[in-house]
A = this chain, B = another copy of it.
Amino acid sequence: MVEHVPIVALMANLAPPEAPQMIGLDWGTSSLRAFLIGSDGQVLAERNGSDGIMAVSSDTTDLRGDFSRIAETAAGDWLTSYGPLPMLACGMIGSTQGVAEAGYLELPTDLSAMRGELTTVNLTTGDLHIVPGLQKTPTEATAPDVIRGEETQLLGLLGEEDDEPSTVILPGTHTKWVSCHRQRVTDFTTSMSGELFGLLSTSSILSRLAEPTAGFHSEAFDWGLNVGGDNPSAVTSSIFSARTWALNGRLRAEEINDYLSGMLIGAEVAHQLTVVAESSAPVIVCGTTDLTNRYTRALHRAGRETVNANPRAAATGLFRIAEQSGLVPTKENTHA
């Protein structure tokens, strides 16, 4: 597990930090983020690692033992230093491939309902409470869909008093587009353009001409945005133009991937805005800096305003659920 020691943790050696209240875990398929959280939800320390649920072999005979060891590595020293703390997790750890199936809340649902639906598993580090996911029942016209982890981010970033419905984008390998009204989730859809980009940029005929670079080639990205956004139904054909423009010489080898990324995100945004355009309110984008930048450019091109959300929304959401479910005292209780 790669550990990034934040400045607040280093400072803890000089002066004791505010007393930690809980440990929050955003435990996904291929990553684990651990948060040490203080009484007002402040993140006192954060660690990011690659011990997602795939780090445990699917034919293990000691599921709880294996996940316990990962929890120990991620947060054992926090427990030693600060005594037993409630541990609350969201994400794929609550799936059938995780430590226990934590169920789903059915749409439409208020995110406050999560407080009463936690699943608890006993690990060597203590009780691990797990947040349920959300699911959408299929109709004749629409497929079923599920999310795990994003529901907690949503609770972390949505207010209780917004009057207009909001659209939230959580970009990633599988980008989630979520429609909400205050903290009530009414709909969501998953887009696979992130995974498509990964496959095309590493394993397709397009990848043979592409030269991966760390930089962001904004002109190539915006060109791709226009191609994908103007004609989203053409995308299975348009992606081939990443090859033909490169052979033609107008698209340089180091620009191919950003052109392709722009095309896929442009097509996705053009389509999704026809589905979720409940209001003209700014679209909330919550992801890594790089992906937030890309989706923001695509949304601005489509004439929509955006708000960049707190990238630690998962920690905030975990703290709110812990408060609402009584795992940690609420501020009101503390001050009473």
Chain B CB within 8 A of A330 CB: no
Choose, from A71-79, A106-114, A262-270, A318-326, the stretch at the interface: A262-270
A238 to B233, CA, bound (A): 12
A248 on interface, CB distance cutoff 8 Å: yes
- Check if A120 is an interface residue, CB within 8 A of chain B: no
A240 CB within 8 Å of chain B: yes
Query: Would you call A236 and B235 a contact (CB within 8 A)?
Result: yes
Question: Which residues of B are found within 8 Å of A145, using beta-carbon distances?
Answer: 240-241, 244
Give the A interface residue count (CB, 8 A): 42
- What separation, in Å, do the CA atoms of A203 and B146 have in the docked complex? 21
Cα distance A203–B196 when bound, in Å?
Answer: 10
Closest to A190 in B: B240
Q: Which residues of B contact A195 (CB under 8 A)?
A: 204-205
Determine if A144 and B245 form an interchain contact, defined as CB atoms under 8 angstroms apart.
yes
Measured in the bound complex, the distance between the Cα atoms of B241 and A100 in whole Å is: 24
Q: Which of A150-205 contact B (CB under 8 A)?
A: 174, 189-193, 195-196, 199-200, 203-205
Which one, B144, B192, B267, contacts A239 given CB within 8 A? B192
